[in-house]
């Protein structure tokens, strides 16, 4: 990192350590929140009942599944692949 005195490996490690908790919490809460939708679960709070596979869920199952899968993959890429590639690129320049 220019101007901080850290080499690329230590800068990537520090950035990953600082961003790990917020990124992981955001991803996990979204995935947990979308899980009932991806399973086709409808909860009727007024009647205090739950339905599995009701007709209204057929449109939302595919969307929720795509968002969960994309978020899981992008979280892994954000937390591990991107800092690794940044540190590796600068190491190749040395």
List pLDDT tens digits, range 66-76. Answer: 999 999 999 99
Interacting residues of 94 by C-beta distance below 8 A, sequence separation 6+: none
- Asked if the structure places residue 2 within a domain, the reply is no
- Asked if the structure places residue 59 within a domain, the reply is yes
Q: What is the pLDDT of residue 67?
A: 95
Q: Is the pLDDT of residue 1 over 60?
A: no
Domain that includes residue 17, residue range: 8-86
Tokens standing for residue 21: 């908790």
- Asked if the structure places residue 1 within a domain, the reply is no
Q: What is the pTM of this model?
A: 0.75
DSSP state letters, 5-70: T--HHHHHHHHHHHHHHHHHHHHHHHHHHHHHHHTTEEEETTTTEEEES-GGGTTHHHHHHHHHHH
Overall domain count for the chain: 1
Q: What is the pLDDT of residue 29?
A: 97
């Amino acid at each position: 990192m220019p101007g901080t005195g850290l080499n690329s490996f230590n800068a990537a490690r520090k950035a990953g350590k600082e961003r790990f908790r917020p990124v992981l919490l955001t991803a996990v809460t979204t995935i947990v929140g979308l899980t009932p939708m991806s399973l086709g679960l409808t909860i009727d709070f007024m009647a205090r009942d739950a339905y599995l596979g009701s007709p209204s869920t057929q449109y939302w199952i595919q969307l929720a599944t795509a968002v969960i899968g994309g978020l899981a993959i992008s979280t892994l890429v954000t937390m591990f692949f991107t800092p690794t590639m940044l540190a590796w690129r600068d190491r190749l320049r040395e």
